[in-house]
Structure 1
Amino acid sequence: MSVPDVGTPPDLRQSALLEVGCEELPAGSVSDVLDSLARLVRAGLEEKGASFSGIFSGGIPSRLVVRIDGLLPETSAREELVTGPPVSAAGGWPSDPSPAVRGFARAQNATPEDLEVVETPRGRYLSLRKRLPSLPVFEILPGIFQGALSSLTFAKSMRWGRGNGPFLRPLLWILALYRDEVVGFEFAGQVSGRLTAPPRYRGSSPVLVRNVVHYDSEVRDWGVELSLARRRDRIENDLILAMRMEESAGTWPDDLTLSLDPQLLDEVTCLVENYRVIPATLPERFSGIPAPVVRTVLKVHQRFFVADSGAGRPVAHFLGVSGNPTAELSVVRDGYVRVVAARLEDAAYYISRDVAVPLSDRVPGLDSVVFFPGVGSVGDKVRATRRLLFEVLALLPDGLIARHHTTREDLAAICERAAILYKADLLTGLVKEFPELEGEVGRYYFLREVEKGGEITPLDRAVAEAIASHYAPRTFRDPVPEDLPSLLLSLCDRAVGQAGAFLGGANPSGSLDPFALRRSGLGLVRILAEGALPLTLSKLADLALEAWGLSSPPKPLSETSPALVAFWEDRMESLFTRDGASAWYGAARLSDEPPFLSWRRLEFLSEFLLSADFGAFETVKTRVDRILSGENSSFDPALIAVSEERALWESLAALEKTPFPHDPTREDFFTEVLRLKPLLPVIEAFFSAVLVNDPDPGVRRNRQALLAILSGRLSVFGHLDRLVSLSRKERDNG
């Protein structure tokens, strides 16, 4: 979002203002709408040659504001190049121009003789240079404001009244000013004027605005901070201050931790203009409710901020952000507690009913829940996940299992129990009432059952953690599970679910993804990449499809597997994209290797790109790959003809004694750079003295085989040529 430097306040007497009042937009869309509106206004001003110092955007769901600061009263005179037909279609121009040339010139109020030839990336074109005079800014602002509003795009929009719209929500007013004058235009049934509306807690009488300075004064008098970023910072600081004040007063314990979820903070920021922080405490009777349930009610259902007491202790304190700063604190606080108490009483009711039926007794009921027609039930999915889980477990090296401080036998026992019970909580009343708690409820009920029968062991806790974490990561911001059973169960559940969806014909298409497979797929590749699991996407796809055990699948597995792999590769590209550059994926990803290798190579390349050695290795790797013909033959040292060829072979043979590790770390990649760096002059001497594509077919094949060995060793760095443009950009910026 564009916000002027707060250290140098703009001269608002030279500013233009656009404020759009509307019925409340979804809070999650406010930031994007404001950014888009500011970008469109900026583009319109730049297209017309207007001079300005900056653009500010801010507001809330019912008030969108864009302010143009330092706007000069006239645009700059400028030259515009209008491209016409290509020279190839110009006929005998200029003496005998083609109809296309004459038509273009006529449309531009010019003659064919006024045109000139211009070189473009697409070739040579006839063009016209037009001198555009300066214009009063007041004349261009109506079109810019109206055009920006008309160009906003929404997934869903509305019409209202007698065909007014479309817009995301019905418009209530438009305030548009430049200096002291109204910028007049009409949009969606509203005519711009001088009127604005105060915040709801200040009444409903409209306010007549004289100019931008007056508007700024009114907003400050209301106590409103229009900037989303500054309002967010204020709310965050006030939440922390309110908790500290409660601790200082002795009404709250002094060991609380305030959970400032960034997404919740963003949402609350977009819900209020002015506000008051309300601290509140839950009645003691809810101390037995599981902490995840209380957090969900407070955070997800009511958008409150939780003051946490720590693991294993009940949640009793929270902070709300009221959009009415004038309301009486005790009244608002009592209302908050009553709303939360009603939801927690519902939770207590369902818990009392659910515990009467063990999780294991609920498992058969999953067979009656349809997963995908023609594919199977949720019960079928659970059994398929268990089959895949043990297929994957058999592929794990002992070293990986040891790094997670467990044994293969314990891991198998944990996975066996978790794979049977992990979906059983779907049939509980608590999950039906609080679907956000899937998994967490399973953990709570499982541990409660174990505790009822005896002492909870470390293996029991591992099973409970796997049940609770099999949905992780739920979003891109969430971390992947840390323990191996949770990693494996989450991976296999996703793989089987997505394989079943593809068998059922639910492949995402365009903007349609009703089963959120893209989000789930991104979580799957993150688990493979960040969890360092040695599985290729093709192997996982084949195993996941076979795990369903369908004798007559809706789609042939031979067709579904490549489609599933391509879908996961798309998720990999999304994961690997950095700063909008997808070249990182092309550089780091080698064909059908475990994603964790590509992920670690990506981390290495992001540093190696900036090193002095990048250019030399990229040049050599690109040269070798261009010469290789793709012939499959083995190298025969007996056919070596020149010393430079022998030197390269001996250097490569010596490197075979120190193969690149199968599970490399960042340090391993840089060690390989140091190991291969002495090879660079040997390679240069080889290319200077040796003709690879020798006329003798046997010699040519042998030298091609030697280069193939060299290319294989260099391939641990990925496709360096894909990063050349990024390397140049880094050097230019450096």
Structure 2
Amino acid sequence: MAENLLFEIGTEELPSSCIAEGIKNLKTLMEERLKQNRLGFLSVETYATPRRITAFVNCLEEKQAIQEKIITGPPSAIAFDRNGNHTDAAVGFAKSLNVDAGKLEEFKTERGTYLGIRMIEHSKSTVEVLPDLLKNLILLMSFSKQMTWGDYTARFARPIRWIAAIYGDDVVRFKFESIESSNKTYSHRILGAKPVIIPSPLKNENSYFEFLNKKCRVILNPEKRKEMILNSLKNLEEKKWEKKFKVIIDENLLNEVVNLVEFPNVLEGEFPDEFLYIPKEILIKAIQHHQRYFAVVDSSGEPATRFIIVQNGIEDKTGEIVKGNIRVLKARLNDAGFFYKEDKREDFKIWLDRLKGVIFYSGLGSLYDKSLRLQKICNFIAESLEKKGVLKKSSAKESIKDRLNRAGILCKCDLVTNLVVEFPELQGLVGREYAREKKEKEEVAEAIFEHYLPRFAGDILPETDTGSILSIADKVDTIAGMFLVGNIPSGSEDPFALRRKASGIILAALKKSYDIDLLKICEFTAGLYIKTVNFKNIDSQRTVREMADFIIARYRFRLEKQNKRTDIFDAVIETGRYTVVDFDLRCKAVEQYLEKEKIERLSEPMVRCKNIIKGKNFSQVDENLLNEEAEIKLHNQAVLIRNRIKIYMNSGKYHDALLLLVEFGGFINEFFDKVLVMDRDEAVRQNRINLVKDCTDVYYIFADFSKISQI
């Protein structure tokens, strides 16, 4: 009979960033380990709070599934003598398994026919399997930030303090370091902090939710904690404030706060209105960032003096908690206001001069040097987009190049302002506000903020052309510099967040339909560095290719995150073309084609061509040596279809281009069926190989379809 399994790892306070990792990690590992151990189950659900990561396995079978296993021994060729009797090799193999040689039988494998035996792997009870399974599962869990504690060798996000493991009515007994598993959990640290026996058996995860809520004052499900917070905020807005004020819900802040509390309690504070002179965006960010408060605006959208605190379970009956938080926020706003007033005495000219003394990175010049490069990279991108008709060529008094030049030289200035030096999280926001105050063009001011986007996964992307181009230029410049000095990400190490920057380039280009050529941009940017910096033993062409490969690889990562086929990416990348929108459209066209058709109609003719030309030398096709009707027809079609495919792709008709290639495959198959490529005449033979190479190149305009799996 199937029973439910509860498995909980209790810890010291987990960082908010570790909780999502823990939920995902535990679910994946639990499912994998149960399947590996042949334990059937209905589903695995995982949840977490700052002090516990919990898995609930629904309907876990009471014993392992029986498995038949084939063990192979010697090849049949040496397992029998001339008379059909078992040889010493066969007898020895049977003896090693403690079976009679007469029970051996022959099995056909990819390597040939072998002598072997079918053996039944008997099942163990789930209670027998779980102790080692759960212990090893803890060891396998990994986090971006881990630690050891005490004298233990195990690593985890925070020290483990308890382990609860219950299958049906049974406690799953095992020891992890010095901690013995039990049927006990712990209540809220502040609202009780005592061990509590978990009732068993648990009907489902909701039973455990109710138990933790009533007996431990813990809300295990993060979605429920979020719902509680949002309901409290809505209640404030509609009932207490009568819709005169509104809480600014920053989704990332909300998710972080949800993972900082086990039982959320919403409190309202108010700071003096003397701080409302601080620019809106800066004020809101100052309220949100360090103390994780929610800012409030009035009905006109202007900042209010109210702010929201989400406390971990504590009711503020005396008002002391709110008073303490007001003191903390006032100190922070005092600092922000002081530095803002100091900055108002200065201007961009002073900040630009100050940038000359700030090193971008050792050996790569100053931030001022970087700003000058950004101007040039922005102009290079803008010119290429104008040529493609993506950007309109400006004839007005102020062109986009003027805006890019201004934004490029100013975008790093806020890094040396007093406010950003003290509060680094305000970079970009401060630059935008100060640019507005100094009467810069609005798109220039917006670009100063936008060029940092996206700052994290799921963040907003630049909206303006100036901001989008500057964002791409800034990220390419950083990647180029780091690659040229050898700071290339490896494994999980990426101290300069180059992967995030590469993703930002791809996302910004796709959002704005900028068909930028990554190879050309990387080559141009690397060239700017090489003109001013003496790099030792650098192969610039190879480095440029590595940069472009690194950036476009984030497109593949994007497909993986969306659970889409990555073999399509592998096929398209083989063409060696790195124009972002074209790359995206080719991938999407193949994906859509495969929804209705099989890849064989594209891949098989190409594979036949590739097999013929492998390891051969090539030259131009000599039309005078084309004798057979099928080869003349194929040559004519190769020339015709090559041109038509390019026309279709240039006009965005990628699906039509694919259908042309399907049609082209028919001519290739006819050619191979009717013409002998390896003719006795060397000149004819070479000419046909050249023709097959031309046909292969026609496919390579779009993709290497041989890379796509047949499903």
Say whether the fold is shared (TM-score over 0.5).
yes
Three-state SS of the structure 2 residue aligned to 1:200 is: coil
Partner residue in 1 for 2:579: 594
Three-state SS of the structure 2 residue aligned to 1:167 is: coil
1:33 Cα deviation from its structure 2 partner: 2.4
1:189 Cα deviation from its structure 2 partner: 0.7
Partner residue in 2 for 1:561: 544
CA distance in 2, matches of 1:318, 1:120: 70
Partner residue in 1 for 2:10: 21
Partner residue in 2 for 1:251: 241
Q: Does 1:221 align with 2:214?
A: yes
- Structure 1 residues 175 and 545: alpha-carbon distance in aligned structure 2, compared to 1, 3 A threshold: same
Partner residue in 2 for 1:436: 425
Q: Does 1:426 align with 2:409?
A: no
CA distance in 2, matches of 1:658, 1:315: 62
Q: Report if aligned partners of 1:50, 1:71 keep a CA contact under 8 Å in 2.
A: yes
Stretches of structure 1 lacking an aligned partner (at least 5 in a row): 1-10, 451-455, 729-734
Q: Report if aligned partners of 1:496, 1:547 keep a CA contact under 8 Å in 2.
A: no
CA distance in 2, matches of 1:420, 1:311: 34
AA matched with 1:508? P
Equivalent residue in structure 2 for 1:171, among 152, 155, 160: 160
1:259 Cα deviation from its structure 2 partner: 3.0
1:76-99 superposed Cα distances (whole Å, 9 cap, x missing partner): 554445567888999999542399
Worse overlay, 469-478 or 72-81: 72-81
CA distance in 1, matches of 2:63, 2:640: 73
Q: Report if aligned partners of 2:90, 2:101 keep a CA contact under 8 Å in 1.
A: no
Partner residue in 2 for 1:584: 568
1:28 Cα deviation from its structure 2 partner: 1.9
Percent of paired sites with the same residue: 26
Three-state SS of the structure 2 residue aligned to 1:540 is: helix
Three-state SS of the structure 1 residue aligned to 2:162 is: strand
Q: Does 1:183 align with 2:172?
A: yes
1:591 Cα deviation from its structure 2 partner: 0.6
Partner residue in 2 for 1:365: 354
Three-state SS of the structure 2 residue aligned to 1:196 is: strand
Worse overlay, 427-436 or 141-150: 141-150
Three-state SS of the structure 2 residue aligned to 1:66 is: strand
Worse overlay, 514-523 or 33-42: 33-42
Q: Does 1:537 align with 2:527?
A: no
1:366-423 superposed Cα distances (whole Å, 9 cap, x missing partner): 2222223233222222223333333444433345354598869612211221222111
Q: Report if aligned partners of 2:267, 2:322 keep a CA contact under 8 Å in 1.
A: yes
Partner residue in 2 for 1:498: 479
CA distance in 2, matches of 1:225, 1:86: 62
Q: Does 1:97 align with 2:89?
A: yes
Q: Report if aligned partners of 1:281, 1:316 keep a CA contact under 8 Å in 2.
A: yes
Stretches of structure 2 lacking an aligned partner (at least 5 in a row): none
1:219 Cα deviation from its structure 2 partner: 1.8
Equivalent residue in structure 2 for 1:206, among 195, 202, 208: 195
Partner residue in 2 for 1:550: 532
Worse overlay, 418-427 or 591-600: 591-600
Partner residue in 1 for 2:182: 193
CA distance in 2, matches of 1:632, 1:377: 50
CA distance in 1, matches of 2:40, 2:495: 46
Q: Does 1:142 align with 2:128?
A: no
CA distance in 2, matches of 1:187, 1:445: 56
Q: Report if aligned partners of 1:281, 1:337 keep a CA contact under 8 Å in 2.
A: yes
- Structure 1 residues 86 and 29: alpha-carbon distance in aligned structure 2, compared to 1, 3 A threshold: farther
- Structure 1 residues 18 and 410: alpha-carbon distance in aligned structure 2, compared to 1, 3 A threshold: same
CA distance in 2, matches of 1:90, 1:345: 88
Three-state SS of the structure 1 residue aligned to 2:310 is: strand
Partner residue in 1 for 2:405: 416
1:649-702 superposed Cα distances (whole Å, 9 cap, x missing partner): 55566657756349746x511243466666565555445444455444554555
1:135-163 superposed Cα distances (whole Å, 9 cap, x missing partner): 44333332222222233234554443454
Partner residue in 2 for 1:131: 120
Equivalent residue in structure 1 for 2:19, among 30, 51, 56: 30
Worse overlay, 520-529 or 504-513: 520-529
Partner residue in 2 for 1:522: 503
- Structure 1 residues 87 and 421: alpha-carbon distance in aligned structure 2, compared to 1, 3 A threshold: farther
- Structure 1 residues 650 and 309: alpha-carbon distance in aligned structure 2, compared to 1, 3 A threshold: farther
Q: Report if aligned partners of 1:504, 1:554 keep a CA contact under 8 Å in 2.
A: no
Worse overlay, 143-152 or 646-655: 646-655
The correspondence of residues 70-109 of structure 1 with structure 2, limited to 5 A, is 70-81=59-70, 95-97=87-89, 106=96
Q: Report if aligned partners of 1:401, 1:407 keep a CA contact under 8 Å in 2.
A: no
Partner residue in 1 for 2:557: 574
Q: Report if aligned partners of 1:97, 1:112 keep a CA contact under 8 Å in 2.
A: no
AA matched with 1:598? F
Three-state SS of the structure 1 residue aligned to 2:127 is: helix
1:274-319 superposed Cα distances (whole Å, 9 cap, x missing partner): 2233455654333332233233234432334455669984466654
Equivalent residue in structure 1 for 2:447, among 466, 473, 489: 466
AA matched with 1:475? F
- Structure 1 residues 147 and 593: alpha-carbon distance in aligned structure 2, compared to 1, 3 A threshold: closer
- Structure 1 residues 403 and 54: alpha-carbon distance in aligned structure 2, compared to 1, 3 A threshold: same
- Structure 1 residues 90 and 29: alpha-carbon distance in aligned structure 2, compared to 1, 3 A threshold: farther
Worse overlay, 579-588 or 551-560: 551-560
AA matched with 1:179? G
The correspondence of residues 268-347 of structure 1 with structure 2, limited to 5 A, is 268-278=257-267, 283-306=272-295, 313-314=302-303, 319-324=308-313, 326-328=315-317, 332-347=321-336
1:607-634 superposed Cα distances (whole Å, 9 cap, x missing partner): 1221337543444444444445665544
Equivalent residue in structure 1 for 2:493, among 501, 512, 525: 512
CA distance in 2, matches of 1:109, 1:490: 70
CA distance in 2, matches of 1:57, 1:419: 47
CA RMSD, 1 decimal: 4.0
1:125 Cα deviation from its structure 2 partner: 6.5
1:50 Cα deviation from its structure 2 partner: 3.8
Q: Report if aligned partners of 1:55, 1:68 keep a CA contact under 8 Å in 2.
A: yes
1:321 Cα deviation from its structure 2 partner: 3.2
1:182 Cα deviation from its structure 2 partner: 2.8
Q: Report if aligned partners of 2:480, 2:525 keep a CA contact under 8 Å in 1.
A: yes
Q: Does 1:486 align with 2:484?
A: no
Q: Report if aligned partners of 2:625, 2:684 keep a CA contact under 8 Å in 1.
A: yes
Three-state SS of the structure 1 residue aligned to 2:646 is: coil
1:118 Cα deviation from its structure 2 partner: 4.9
Partner residue in 2 for 1:668: 653
CA distance in 2, matches of 1:636, 1:373: 56
Normalised to the residue count of structure 2, the TM-score between the two structures is 0.85
1:711 Cα deviation from its structure 2 partner: 4.4
CA distance in 2, matches of 1:115, 1:613: 42
Worse overlay, 51-60 or 305-314: 305-314
CA distance in 1, matches of 2:662, 2:156: 60
Three-state SS of the structure 2 residue aligned to 1:426 is: helix
AA matched with 1:180? D
1:45 Cα deviation from its structure 2 partner: 4.0
1:493 Cα deviation from its structure 2 partner: 1.9
CA distance in 2, matches of 1:290, 1:120: 74
AA matched with 1:97? A
Three-state SS of the structure 2 residue aligned to 1:302 is: coil
Q: How many residues get paired?
A: 699
CA distance in 1, matches of 2:102, 2:501: 61
Equivalent residue in structure 2 for 1:604, among 583, 589, 603: 589
1:23 Cα deviation from its structure 2 partner: 0.7
AA matched with 2:706? D
Three-state SS of the structure 2 residue aligned to 1:376 is: coil
1:500 Cα deviation from its structure 2 partner: 1.9
Q: Report if aligned partners of 1:257, 1:310 keep a CA contact under 8 Å in 2.
A: no
